[in-house]
Structure 1
Amino acid sequence: MGRSTHSSRRTTGAPHEETAITTAARPVAVVTGASSGIGEEFARRFAARGHDLVLVARREDRLTVLGDALAAEHGVSVTVLPVDLADPGGPAEVAAGLRRRGLRADALVNSAGFGTYGPFATEDPARIAAEVQVNVVALTVLSRLLLPDLVAAPAGVLVNVASTAAYQPGPSFAVYAATKAYVRSLTEAIWQEHRGTALRVLSLAPGPTETEFFEVAGSDRFRVGQVLTVAQVVDVAFRALDRRDPPPSVVAGRRNAVAAALAGALPRRLVLRVAGRLTGE
């Protein structure tokens, strides 16, 4: 796909007003958590593949810098939506932002998410409520809101970023592991519901990845398994999506995939005991 000219225009006004760089119509990829890490890498890959972008995260400054760079490099249109998905109204705000600009999503990557570390009995209730809101509720509602557009697209894509933690309970990060198990289960069900359509649905399960995740979580005890770069993780996702018949879920990293398979095959007591030792429980 060739380059096109682009122009930059910044809008001002109400909070969370979007910034856009407008060009001719192309497939549109919506990426949450796009200000860093895996979400940022997905944005870069979709731009390189000729998709216009809608970038969603709280940090507008980072989104704007990324959007300007990708527009200049690939000649794509970038819309920045600085939305906090910990706010229950966040998914509807994203969907409304698309409608106001006449945009229809061809791809959605739900990469926004964070984890907390520590015994469940001592976790901050407000913090875990926000964790569930971002990792579970926002992902679910935004997927549902944009699903009609994704299904109608000639080659729709839905990627939900889970984790290797989705494959076993996580002592000392119980809420995070539970949210990611939900993401995997939901995504695989959506995959089955849309067999025989053009929509490609994928649950992506990274292991420990070189991102800001551990800093936000306040511990590196999550760093269990094969550590990959964000580029390697997203490579795994696109290799799966580019297959003739993409699988419902994929684990990034061979050693991580083996560990996930073993967690499903071994006795639960043993899995929990090993997981507790690895995470310091």
Structure 2
Amino acid sequence: MTTALITGATAGIGAAFARRLAGDGHNLVLVARNEKRLREQATELHDRHGVEVSVLVADLATDDGIATVEKRLGDRTHPVDLLVNNAGFGNKGEFLEVPMADELTMLKVHCEAVLRLTSEAVKGMRERRRGGVVNVASVAAFVPRGTYGASKAWVVQFTQGVARDLAGSNVRLMALCPGFVRTEFHERAGMGTDNIPDWMWLDADKLVDAAMKDLARGKSLSVPDPRYKALMGVAKLAPRNLLGGITSKTGRKYGPQ
């Protein structure tokens, strides 16, 4: 049986990946900060699917937390075959309204942790000539929207670049770029969601199903919904200065309240 490690595993997209992968028969390593929630989730997935589920309490906003997960990924006696870098968060407010410490923490989680964990995982995968990494980004990567969008753009560029470097190694890397997903993300950031149109919301389980199909097809980029594929097509055609103004207004309309 293969093993998948998922960061940010206790809620939202991470929890959906855990359910899907456990249902497919993968053993799991679940990573998050809340030990109680991790253990409850591990027990439920083990009892329901009969897979082995271990938990790793780690805060990826800290060097110690990242190092803890790196150590598990580097364990050659219990290899990880699929890494899902899902941990992430949003900050409420526009640029200069958000404390610099919070901006730097976002870069730590979204960029440094993804870089270090991907690197550690891929070393063993390349040696074994099998494995995969899914780095959860966002459609915000494709529009000019502050630190969050910039960090997710980095995830996309990094993932696709590494995927190109590892071509022929049987190691697959994919950046997953969802839109609005019904999770705890906005609540944790203190963002209002009442003014987000219903058609823009995605279901986490359906999103993960689409993502796993794209990974199996060998895609290095997944925008797993026709609605968002269409929106991203329009974004590519729009002039950058016009797009910047539109996305800024959209951010104020659909973002923090």
TM-score, with length taken from structure 2 = 0.91
Q: Post-superposition shift, 1:209?
A: 0.2
Q: Which residue of 2 aligns with 1:265?
A: 237
Q: Which residue of 2 aligns with 1:216?
A: 188
* Aligned CA distance change for structure 1 residues 76 and 152 (closer, same or farther; 3 Å): farther
Q: How many residues align?
A: 251
Q: Which residue of 1 aligns with 2:206?
A: 232
Match of 1:167 among 122, 129, 142: 142
One-letter code of the match for 1:269?
A: N
Q: Which SS does the other structure have where 1:181 is aligned? A: helix
| 1:71 pairs with 2:46 | yes
Q: Structure 1 or 2: larger helix share?
A: 2
Q: Post-superposition shift, 1:261?
A: 2.1
Range 221-230 or range 63-72, more displaced: 221-230
Q: Which residue of 1 aligns with 2:152?
A: 180
Identity of aligned residues (%): 36
Distance 2:139 2:238 in 1: 16
1:40-62 per-residue CA deviation (whole Å, 9 max, x = no partner) reads 11111111122111100001111
Q: What are the residue-to-residue correspondences of 1:80-91 with 2, within 5 Å?
A: 80-91=55-66
Distance 1:158 1:28 in 2: 12
| 1:144 pairs with 2:119 | yes
Q: Post-superposition shift, 1:98?
A: 5.2
Distance 2:5 2:75 in 1: 15
Distance 1:82 1:180 in 2: 24
| 1:130 pairs with 2:109 | no
Q: Which SS does the other structure have where 1:121 is aligned? A: coil
* Aligned CA distance change for structure 1 residues 145 and 100 (closer, same or farther; 3 Å): closer
Does the CA-based 8 Å contact 1:116-1:175 persist in structure 2? no
> Runs of 5+ in structure 2 lacking a partner?
none
Does the CA-based 8 Å contact 2:176-2:221 persist in structure 1? yes
Q: Post-superposition shift, 1:100?
A: 6.6
Distance 2:56 2:228 in 1: 34
Q: Which SS does the other structure have where 2:202 is aligned? A: coil
Q: Post-superposition shift, 1:260?
A: 1.4
> Runs of 5+ in structure 1 lacking a partner?
1-25
Q: Which SS does the other structure have where 1:280 is aligned? A: helix
Q: Post-superposition shift, 1:255?
A: 1.5
TM-score, with length taken from structure 1 = 0.84
Does the CA-based 8 Å contact 1:150-1:158 persist in structure 2? no
Distance 1:150 1:31 in 2: 16
Match of 2:131 among 147, 156, 159: 156
| Bigger Rg, which one | 1
Does the CA-based 8 Å contact 1:155-1:199 persist in structure 2? yes
